[in-house]
Amino acid sequence: MLVISRFRYPEAADGSGPLDTAEVELGACLEQLSHQRGYVDGVVGRALDDPTCWVLQTRWRDVGSYRRTLSSYEIRMHVVPLLARAIDEPSAYEVVIGDGATPPNVARPRQT
């Protein structure tokens, strides 16, 4: 499972860049996530043509691992507040081609 969260770190009023804040916050977030069960790997990146746009990308063994991570006390205290500031868009993806690929999920009604 792949999770991609994008963030905006605007220029400060004094003209200084968002580099230090983004690196500290997203780096700490990645560090916390990396210690969780089911975590595979992750990176923090910055857009080449827009230095205010940052991304936190992580891979997980499965969706359950990711969901359990988000519900843990330590992650809710230190990581979820930052993730709540992510750009509002889909962030969880199933891998269908490449390393760790699985057959695509099929939407169907729940059975009773």
CATH of residue 26's domain is 3.30.70.100
Instruction: Let me know if residue 44 belongs to a domain.
Output: yes
Instruction: Let me know if residue 112 belongs to a domain.
Output: no
Instruction: Let me know if residue 99 belongs to a domain.
Output: no
Instruction: Let me know if residue 104 belongs to a domain.
Output: no
Range(s) of the domain holding residue 19 = 2-93
- The DSSP secondary structure of the chain, one letter per residue, reads -EEEEEEE-PPPTTS--SHHHHHHHHHHHHHHHHTSTTEEEEEEEE-SS-TTEEEEEEEES-HHHHHHHHHSHHHHHHTHHHHTTS-SS--EE---SSTT--PPP---PPP-
Q: How many domains does the chain have?
A: 1
- Prediction pTM value: 0.85
Instruction: Let me know if residue 105 belongs to a domain.
Output: no
pLDDT in tens, 80-96: 999 999 999 999 999 99
Q: pLDDT-based confidence at 99, cuts 50/70/90?
A: confident
